[in-house]
Chain A
Amino acid sequence: MGKMTLTQLRKHREQKQDDVARGKVEGKAIQVIIGMGTCGIAAGARKTYDEILRHVEEHGLASQVLIRQTGCMGLCTVEPTVEVVMPGLPSVIYGKMTADSAKDLVLKHLVGKRLLNNHIFDRPAVDIIGAASHGGAASVGATSNSGAASVGATSNSAAAKGND
């Protein structure tokens, strides 16, 4: 994709949001997301990544599981951190996921559909972009929000001009 116009960018965004709403990223239903900030990597996140990848492949799950990286989740003392998103199970963040926990993650969580003991940590905050990920209703909210905001902006600019 090269340089975009405004219309192209908006269309591109909608398409990406649709993918997320349908629960499929790059055509895969299960996502394993590994925290790869400096802290995470220092605590061994790369090894965890490689081990999860290996076990996913060994169990023939490669076509369903997308393994990807993200930045710091904020839980620095329990690095490496891994979030798992899959249908039928609540999304959870696991901490202290060193390479030897990778097998458990794949066997128990991905295959056995059970949550792992002693590794779950709470998501630190609500997602303020949550609006986008809840699909329909929220995006209506977003539209009305931006509508309201731009009205506000217009009146602001009028006020600013008045001040000039």
Chain B
Amino acid sequence: MAYKNFILVCGGTGCESCRSEEIYKNLMMEAEIQGLKEEVQVVRTGCFGFCEKGPIVKVLPQESFYVEVKPEDAREIIAEQVVKGREVKRLLYDKGDGAAAAAAAAAAEGKADLRSYQKQYRIVLRNCGVIDPENIDEYIAREGYEALEKALFEMKSADVIAELKASGLRGRGGAGFPTGMKWEFTRAAPGTVKYVICNADEGDPGAYMDRATIEGDPHSVIEAMAICGYTVGATKGYVYIRAEYPLAIERLRIAIRQAEEYGLLGKDILGSGVDFDLEIRLGAGAFVCGEETALMRSLEGNRGMPVPKPPFPATSGLWKKPTVINNVETFANVPMVILRGSKWFTSIGTEKSPGTKVFALTGKINNSGLVEVPMGTTLREIIFDIGGGIRNNRKFKGVQTGGPSGGIIVEKDLDAPISYESLTALGSMMGSGGMIVMDEDDCVVDVSKFYMEFCVDESCGKCAPCRIGTNQMHSILDRMTKGSGEPSDLAKLEKIGQAMTKASLCMLGGSAANPTLSTIRHFREEYEEHIRDHKCRAGSCKTLLRFSIIPEKCIGCGLCAKRCPVQCIAGEKKVAHVIDQAKCIKCGECQKSCKFGAVVKS
């Protein structure tokens, strides 16, 4: 016996609150009443995202996607779909009849079909979670190395550049420089020795898009680098990757070896006469090496300190030779741009920022994970539809993009479509793709301090604005979180921040003040509370916390006193207890242990 249909009922928290449990029971009951228990299996699932349209029901194998389903719809779903094999049109997310026709029309025009409820569109991650990254054959079977074939045998190097320029692909490391132009400058630069570098030194704490891409699909990067080598006339490439990513390094090693065995790297690739070798070089835990000039100094075996530009790497890069340096995600796009063409690529995303962007969605979010969306998707769609909203029903406070170089984006700006320009206009930046969601329990002063501490650690020390400025800002932020901020501190932070932004040698110092400046802009009153009232409304600056016991609520059970690790709670049995504020270490155990809600945090 085998089931004909499977009805999936979303059991995510959002859907559950909208009676998905009842829907589940009704579907089971209806299947039984209509005598179909052997025909259909009703299954409860994890969160499907798309919570605002919940509850969600999906029927397989037809892939019918029903939204805003009510318990009383169960009978119709069973009677129509399972018995008669017809979809319940009024519940479908995509009610149009012409889904197949629209897809065909898009394909005929060479455009992408983007009408999926999923909101994600995977170009960079096309093979991640699909193929075995340690088996080159699986990559090859999925159009792998077809773009290399096409470039080598059907396109001149000028054609490759023309296609890339027409595609509008921009650097996904964060700066957004047009990739085609980078390649063109390098190709045009005089000299016979040139290099291709892949920047896999993903240093933003809280971002792991590049790691996942290399771990899941290393050949996409290798193929793109070989295409780049052919295009700009380089025969040697380097992947500079964080030493902290052992699995990615191992998979890349295996992939390079397999590509060499098949003759897709090395001498005379596929008999084309083109040579290209690839070597892995490890980073050693310096955030500044994500900056391209610092990365190249490091690759040369030196301290990774940035140098002023110009000269740009395209004319004088690694060992002073013309060099293309692109980020992992940028490279992973290239084979698809070459294969499907610029027309297809520009049909995705926005006019000035075509294509997709991968984000590592983390923090106080329900479905944290790796997401790839077309540019132009809104932050709200990413956080609330794909991400399933904020954990534990807390209130959304802000989302940090661009990591320690970016800024916070608040509720009122969530509907802005994502592009390089829009995020900069909102006082943040695209960055490499870290997206950290904060809720009301996160203190902006504390988070700014966290990012500034990171910049203090990572500043290479070469230029004074960054070396001194980050330290000064950190010490001011630190004293604010400890209740000894001074009234002039806010102005000082702004002044130092602006100086660093203007005068630093590279983007590390140039953007280190961003998290602080952007949170001051949006949450000035919270900073003022820290300074003036020694108060942290989020309750995360521990020194400023105060636990106390409401005498009316306390029954004197003594549980909190027993749990207190420093024995600072005193009181007779059955009499209200008191916390000795001088001894309290603010661990919060008393509040956790109290069954009567008598311990309060302020």
A and B touch in the complex (CB under 8 A): yes
Tell me which of A51-59, A72-80, A98-106 binds B: A72-80
Interface pair A72/B128, CB less than 8 Å apart: yes
Known: A17-B141, A122-B118, A149-B340. A70 touches B133 (CB 8 A): yes
B129, closest chain A residue (CB): A73
Chain A 126-137, CB-CB to B under 8 Å as 1, else 0, gives 111100110000
Give the CA-CA distance A156 to B156 in the complex, in Å.
11
Is A20 in the interface zone, CB < 8 Å from B? yes
Using A2-B263, A118-B11, A121-B46 as known contacts, say yes or no to A38 and B247 having CB atoms under 8 A apart.
Answer: yes
Q: How large is the interface on A (under 10, 10 to 19, 20 to 34, 35 or more residues)?
A: 35 or more
Residues of B contacting A142 with CB < 8 Å?
143
1/0 per residue, CB under 8 A from A, across B181-201: the answer is 000000000000000000000
Partner pick for A124 among B107, B122, B158, B272, CB 8 A cutoff: B122
By a CB distance below 8 angstroms, the chain A residues around B43 are 115-117, 120
Interchain CA distance A115-B208 in the complex, whole Å: 32
B369 touches A76 (CB 8 A): yes
Is A24's CB within 8 Å of the partner chain B?
A: no
Q: Is B522 an interface residue (CB 8 A)?
A: no
Residues of B within 8 A of A16 (CB): 137-138, 140-141
Interface residues of A in 15-48 (CB under 8 A from B): 16-17, 19-20, 35, 37-39, 41
Output the nearest chain A residue to B270 by Cβ-Cβ distance. A6
**A86-99 vs B: 1/0 string, CB under 8 Å?**
00111010011000
A157, B208: Cα distance in complex, Å: 37
A113 and B38 alpha carbons, distance in the complex (Å): 12
Indicate if the CB atoms of B58 and A129 lie closer than 8 Å: no
A68 to B, closest residue via Cβ:
B132
Task: Of the listed stretches B211-219, B302-310, B438-446, name the one at the interface; the rest are far from the partner chain.
Answer: B211-219
- Report the separation of the CA atoms of residues A26 and B440 in the bound assembly, to the nearest whole angstrom: 52
Known contacts A38-B211, A132-B143, A127 near B262 by CB under 8 Å: no
Interface centre among B58, B141, B146 (most CB of A within 10 A): B141
- Name the segment of B1-9, B70-78, B292-300 touching the other chain: B1-9
Do A150 and B154 touch (CB < 8 A)?
A: yes
Size range of the interface on B? 35 or more
Q: Mark B116-140, 1 if CB is under 8 A from A, else 0.
A: 1010111101111111111001101
Provide the B332-373 mask, 1 if CB < 8 A to any CB of A, else 0: 000010011111000000000000000000100011111110
A111 at the interface (CB under 8 A from B): no
Instruction: Compute how far the CA of A37 lies from the CA of B107 in the bound complex, rounded to whole angstroms.
Output: 33
Rounded to whole Å, the gap between the CB of A101 and the closest CB of chain B is: 13
- A-B contact list, 20 entries, CB within 8 Å: A2-B263, A5-B270, A6-B271, A16-B138, A38-B212, A68-B132, A70-B128, A72-B215, A74-B129, A78-B46, A117-B44, A121-B46, A121-B47, A124-B369, A125-B118, A125-B121, A132-B142, A132-B143, A152-B342, A156-B162
Q: A-contacting residues of B (Cβ < 8 Å)?
A: 2-3, 6, 8, 11, 41, 43-49, 58, 60-61, 107, 110, 112-113, 116, 118, 120-123, 125-134, 137-138, 140-146, 149-150, 153-156, 158-159, 161-163, 166, 208, 211-212, 215-217, 245, 247-248, 261-264, 266, 270-272, 336, 339-343, 362, 366-372
Beyond A37-B216, A150-B150: 12 further Cβ-contacts under 8 Å? A1-B261, A17-B141, A41-B247, A72-B128, A75-B367, A90-B6, A90-B61, A113-B3, A118-B11, A120-B45, A128-B126, A153-B341
Would you list the 6 A-B pairs with minimal beta carbon distance, nearest first?
A71-B216, A3-B263, A73-B129, A16-B141, A90-B60, A125-B120
A residues near B (Cβ < 8 Å) are 1-6, 9-10, 12-13, 16-17, 19-20, 35, 37-39, 41, 68-78, 81, 83, 88-90, 92, 95-96, 113-129, 132-133, 141-142, 145-146, 148-150, 152-154, 156-157, 159-161
